[in-house]
Amino acid sequence: MVIKSRAELALEGRVFHGNAAAAGFVIPIYSNTTQQFGLWNPAGNDMVAEIFEIGLGSYVSTSGAAGGYVLGIVKGAPSVLATGAKITAFTETTPENSLPGFGQTTHMKFGQGATLTVTAPTLFRHLHISQNAFTAAGTGQFPVKIGVVEFPDRTLWLPPGNAIFLCGNIATLAVFAPTITWGEHEYPLR
């Protein structure tokens, strides 16, 4: 099996950057049925997403509660939106390609800051980003690792029929403008 490097995928126009709007939003708790920042690989897709990095991006406003950030997952995600399906609303945002003007179109569905209505995600992975309570006036401590969490060990993959969401392990309250970068490999991997 040959798995292409991030550089090879980028030069083929198969690396994408999903960014929240500058105004950001409150990142919801993982068990919420309305999420704000997600990547969905529809069932039956012929591509698998390799997540290179995900993070809070930029702090925008408000006070934050003590807590941490995680990835939530909806397994058995459908191929299309449908009443009663595990994803019933998903406003898509077009991601940026690493090869501007030459890259391919993503095979994933990226959504941010709009209605993403799903069956409550389950906890998929802790991101090791924690914050103490802080105020917008600057008292307290912002998240310990406000940057991006990278996966250089290539261990975070999103096969067809799954969707992941950046979430809090509690209601963290602060407004951030998150970011995610992924590459797309043919699936099944050959």
Residues 6+ apart with CB under 8 A from 120: 31, 32, 33
pLDDT greater than 70 at residue 142: no
CA–CA separation, 81 and 181 (whole Å): 24
Whether residue 155 is predicted with pLDDT greater than 80 in this model: the reply is yes
Mean per-residue pLDDT of the chain = 91
Tell me if residue 61 falls in helix, strand or coil: strand
pLDDT at position 140 is: 59
Confidence label for 136 from pLDDT (cuts 50, 70 and 90): confident
Confidence bin at 180 (pLDDT 50/70/90):
very high
Q: Give the pairing type, strands 175-186 and 34-41.
A: unpaired
Report whether pLDDT(174) > 80.
Answer: yes
N-term to C-term CA, the chain: 5
pLDDT at residue number 138: 72
CA distance 89 to 74: 13
pTM for the structure as a whole: 0.93
Residue type present at position 46: D
The set of residues, in sequence order, having a beta carbon less than 8 Å from that of 155 and lying 6+ positions away, is none
For residue 188, whether the previous peptide bond is cis, meaning omega lies within 30 degrees of 0, is: yes
Average pLDDT over residues 50-77: 93
Residue 131 has pLDDT above 90, yes or no: no
Query: How many CA atoms lie less than 13 Å away from 161 in the CB half-sphere?
Result: 6
Q: What is the pLDDT of residue 28?
A: 95
